[in-house]
Structure 1
Amino acid sequence: MSKKHFLGFTALALVMTGLLVGCQSTSSEPMKKESDENTANYESLTFDNYGRDVEITEKPQNVLTLGPNSTELFVALGLTDYVIGNSLDNHSRGPLPEYESEYKKIPELTYGSATREAVTTSGADFIYGIDWEFGGEGLDVEELESFGIKTYMNSATTLEEIYQEIYDIGKIFEIEDVATDFVTDQKSRISAVQEKVSNQEPVNVLVYDSGGDGVFTAGGTNFETLLIELAGGKNVFDDITDKQWTTVSYEEVLARQPDVIVVHDYDAPSLEQKIKDIKNDPALSQLDSVKNERFISITLESVLPGDRMAYAVETLAKGFYPGKFE
């Protein structure tokens, strides 16, 4: 290369470098300014999350939703773009049709329960997750805090509690009007069902999650028990108040003679296999509800606190009183 050509090439390189630097400076400045403004204008919030204070000093940007009910709630509130991962799709039959396209945009962190490694290396700054995922063999909230990850636990057992969770999410993500409208719609739909079933004799309901040495079912403090009551039913094991989930003997089930059996639908065993097991069981097959095939299937995420309260009440009520909803 001649000296003349070399000098020309060097000059061109310097010009191109200057242009690149200029472009980088121009593109990065607004991003930094946006981040600074977000921190400066965001009002610090503190929430009582079932006896544990959660302080939020800036709007979360990278969220994990642990549990399909938690994930779908974020989708329903228009917060899909904040979610970088979810868990427990093994407890799901997929989102409601109206949320399917947005739900599919969310990456799967773990198919089953979230692991410590997956969470701590995810880049998350906030978690909204069902309480199953924490404590015991699950995630440690205090450790997550040390990684800079704020945790808000989904642990509602009443409508008032899940509505408060939704209001809190609205405040955290500055969508209070959206959250309020969502809760108002849920209340309206549930009230419409209650009006239709108000004069009916309550239907005695057995919740069948799974079998084995007995029936794994919902206790009296379980959120599902509340949904059953709102739909005009009565959980036959609502007197078990020390556990949300428990195993009861087949003899106990026979003694309580449920009118209908609500069967949970998730990955395994399949819904079809569960109903087959019930029909083939020497004890359960004696029930009139089994002989008459009074089964109501419902996906597990539909009876967890999240976005499907009204949907679950509507689904259950139609199964309890089909003639009222033709």
Structure 2
Amino acid sequence: MPKRFMSRCLSGAIVTGLLAAATLSTASATTYPVTIRSCNRDVTFAGPPQRAISNDVNLTGMMIALGLKDRMAGYTGVSGWNTGTAELKQALGTLPELSKEYPSVETLVGANADFYFAGWNYGMKVGGDLTPATLAPLGIKVYELTESCAHVMKRPPASLGDVYRDLANLGKIFDVENRADTLIKDMQTKIQTLSSKAAGDGKPVSVFVYDSGEDRPFTAGREAIPTALIAAAGGRNVMDDLDDSWTRVNWETVVARNPQAIVIVDYGSVTAAQKEAFLRNNPALNQMDAVKNNRFIVLPYDDATPGVANVRAIATIAKGLHPAAFQ
């Protein structure tokens, strides 16, 4: 649900994420030059960026959580999609939003940017004008959101380890490894507590992620972060066998898999209430168990995409799937 189509058991997934994070190096001061792996590229930094730009609310949230506002020339892709909490907007303060949706190369050059934190379908499009290859000759280094790498390379299913890895890599790039390490450990502790409670409430609940679309729904496959969030919350994404990231499927497939709960992603011009009403009023869809039993869980876009708000997402999903465990 990166905004690509709008202008465009303590589960295995959580265990994988925690183990991946455990392998991250002990926090220390960055020694430059430092080389960071970004998707299928190596990017070398001679020093910390001073004029960074982030695209999308979740990536911008990571930058702010790491205390990097003073290293930023601005951000892009938030207000155009009706995303961003009041808390994040307050934290951003007077930092300028340079483009309401995806920026152009000219936007980054005009801001004298030296770093672009984005992802594929999170500010960049495969074959588009704005890519690591087009920005490199302009002196703008790019770090790609790990989850989004599925669009340019073969990779394992999305995990919380992807989020931890991005935070750790940003810590190295900007020489704030201690902040990153503290943030990662705090997220791990909170998520483990939530997962333990949810797992103690019995068998995982089957869940469908409804991002958008009426003719064909836009949803999350195994390579999109909601699959890992749902698993951590004691559920199972009914599309977890789909070897894709955010993509479209047929309603017939969703109905056949009869999810017990539906996660609605709330952003853009169509509200979560309107999406729910569509499901309730469509006779081909309203006989699914999730609809009949009124099991809708609403997640803001900020929470449903990779970032620090994933802790809040897991809490919301876990309480929706296993309310008795959180009374």
TM-score, reference length from structure 2: 0.82
Question: Distance between the aligned counterparts of 1:68 and 1:129, measured in 2?
Answer: 10
- Residue 257 of structure 1 is matched in structure 2 by 258
| Per-residue deviation, residues 204-233 of structure 1 (Å, max 9, x unmatched) | 001001122222111122111011101100
1-side partners of 2:100 and 2:84: how far apart? Answer: 12
Q: 1:42 to 1:196 in 2, by over 3 A?
A: closer
Q: Which structure is larger by alpha-carbon Rg, 1 or 2? A: 1
Q: CA-to-partner distance for each residue in 1:158-203, whole Å, 9 max, x for gaps? A: 2223212211211222211111000000000010011102232101
Counterpart of 1:283 in structure 2: which amino acid? A
Q: Secondary structure at the match of 1:212?
A: coil
Q: Which residue of 2 aligns with 1:158?
A: 159
Is 1:95 aligned with 2:85?
yes
Which residue in the other structure is 2:32 paired with? 43
Does structure 1 conserve the Cα–Cα contact (< 8 Å) formed by 2:57 and 2:83? no
Pick aligned residue for 2:236 from 220, 234, 237: 234
* 1:201 aligned onto 2:217: no
Counterparts of residues 47-196 of structure 1 (less than 5 Å): 47-89=36-78, 90-95=80-85, 97=87, 99-132=88-121, 133-134=123-124, 135-137=126-128, 139-156=130-147, 157-196=158-197
Which structure shows the bigger proportion of residues in helix conformation?
1
Q: Distance in 1 between matches of 2:159 and 2:210?
A: 21
**1 or 2 for the larger relative contact order (CA 8 Å, sep ≥6)?**
2
The 3-state SS of whatever aligns with 2:44 is strand
Instruction: Please state how far the C-alpha of 1:129 moved relative to its aligned partner.
Output: 1.2
- The correspondence of residues 207-222 of structure 1 with structure 2, limited to 5 A, is 207-222=209-224
Q: 1:42 to 1:123 in 2, by over 3 A?
A: farther
Structure 1 unaligned blocks of 5 or more: 1-40
For residues 70 and 228 of structure 2, what CA distance do their matches in structure 1 show? 32
Aligned-residue offset at 1:138 = 5.1
Which amino acid is 2:96 matched to?
A: P
AA partner of residue 269 (structure 1): V
Q: Is residue 315 of structure 1 aligned with residue 305 of structure 2?
A: no
Q: Alpha-carbon deviation of 1:309?
A: 2.3
The answer (yes or no) to whether the contact 1:92–1:300 under 8 Å persists in 2 is no
Amino acid at match of 1:205: V
Deviation at 1:270, TM superposition (A): 1.4
Secondary structure, in 3 states, of the residue corresponding to 2:219? Answer: strand
**Hey, what does 1:275 align to over in structure 2?**
276
RMSD: 1.7
Instruction: Determine the C-alpha separation between the residues in 1 that align with 2:312 and 2:159.
Output: 16
How far the C-alpha of 1:307 sits from its partner, in A, is 1.3
Q: What is the identity, as a one-letter code, of the residue corresponding to 1:110?
A: S
Structure 1 residues 302 and 225: CA distance shift in structure 2, 3 A: same
Q: Secondary structure at the match of 1:286?
A: coil
Q: How far apart, CA to CA, are the structure 2 residues paired with 1:138 and 1:149? A: 14
Q: Percent identity?
A: 35
Distance 1:273 1:138 in 2: 34
1:128: how far off? 1.0
